[in-house]
Amino acid sequence: MNTIIIVCFFTGVIHLTECLALSMRLAGARTGQIATSLSFVNIAFLISRLSNMFQAPLLGALVDQAVRLRAAPELLASFRLILLAAFAGNLLAMIFTPGVSYILVKGIAVFERLGSIPSLLLAALKPRHLFKILAGLRLPRLDYFSGLNYRAVPHTFLYLNILMVAIYAVGVLAALLAGAFLPEQRATAVQLSGIVNGLATIMLAIMVDPTGARITDQAVHGKRPLNDVWTMVFFLQAGRLLATLAVAQLILWPAARYIMAVTKWLTALAG
């Protein structure tokens, strides 16, 4: 149980940082500093990757324990709990997005003056600045949602985002789950996570990310209102909530079964 709690914590951090990365796009649109905001996005993804570095071995330990105890069905319940932690991380990010966006706007201005991320971090850690940052993490007011315009954002783009996030959320978990049910072919099953995540990668690179960048660039150049970027960020984050709360839960076991079938096919092919 302690291991599951730690895994849930790191899973929440991963989804928290990835969801908050969307608020950096909003800050970039507000300041017009798109390239600078992208560097802040890279910092958020660095935190996500560091969390994943700690999370992955613990997930492997859970699978090893399930194999030893012949408790693969119980592992499915544990993975559903991990997906709930992903939902919690996305929810927390969505709640604090307005405040984080405000802080990032200020941070970009300071970065333009100081010229380096280390200097910015050192300035942020000063007590008086740290207090202002924490004070900026306020809960959103109702008027933050008054200007949302669902029609201003391509709907297919939003639906694909939901599917992409759900696939990413279950990709590794489904492969590990398949390995627990097929312990003799576990190495093959784990390596097949890419056949699930690959689809999400294609969707992100071709259909989701370019559309989001286009909407942001159009807002910066005055071709559409800045409110459209806020609308996009809100519905992308809402999509992440739906993806991790419902869609990922629905496709976790079918994805694991799919990987198990491919694993058996590859084993028969090799034999």
| pLDDT per position as a tens digit, 27-37 | 888 887 777 77
Helix axes 2-31, 209-220, angle to 10 degrees: 30
Residues 256, 178: contact at Cβ < 8 Å? yes
Distance, in Å, from the CA atom of 13 to the CA atom of 251, rounded to the nearest integer, reads 22
pLDDT of residue 158 exceeding 90, the answer is yes
Amino acid at 94: M
Residue range 102-129: mean pLDDT, rounded? 80
Question: What Cα–Cα distance (Å) separates residue 146 from each residue in 150, 213, 223?
Answer: 12, 24, 22
pLDDT of residue 214 exceeding 70, the answer is yes
What pLDDT does 207 receive? 84
Token digits of residue 126: 């000063």
Residue range 125-154: mean pLDDT, rounded? 79
Transcribe the chain into DSSP letters: -HHHHHHHHHHHHHHHHHHHHHHHHHHHHHHT-HHHHHHHHHHHHHHHHHHHHHHHHHHHHHHHHHHHTT-HHHHHHHHHHHHHHHHHHHHHHHHHHHHHHHHHHHHHHHHHHH-SHHHHHHHHTSHHHHHHHHHH-PPPPGGGGTT--GGGS-HHHHHHHHHHHHHHHHHHHHHHHHHHHSGGGHHHHHHTTHHHHHHHHHHIIIIIHHHHHHHHHHHHTTSS-THHHHHHHHHHHHHHHHIIIIIHHHHHHHHHHHHHHHHHHHHHHH-
- Buried-exposed string 24-45: b where 16+ CB fall within 10 A, e elsewhere: bbbbbbbbebeebbeebbeebe
Distance, in Å, from the CA atom of 178 to the CA atom of 63, rounded to the nearest integer, reads 10
What pLDDT does 271 receive? 66
Residue range 55-79: mean pLDDT, rounded? 88
* Higher-pLDDT residue of 111, 246: 246
pLDDT of residue 137 exceeding 80, the answer is no
pLDDT of residue 211 exceeding 80, the answer is yes
Distance, in Å, from the CA atom of 38 to the CA atom of 34, rounded to the nearest integer, reads 6
Residue range 210-228: mean pLDDT, rounded? 89
Residue range 110-123: mean pLDDT, rounded? 79
Residue 243 main-chain phi, psi, to 5 deg: -65, -45
Q: What's the mean per-residue pLDDT of the chain? A: 87
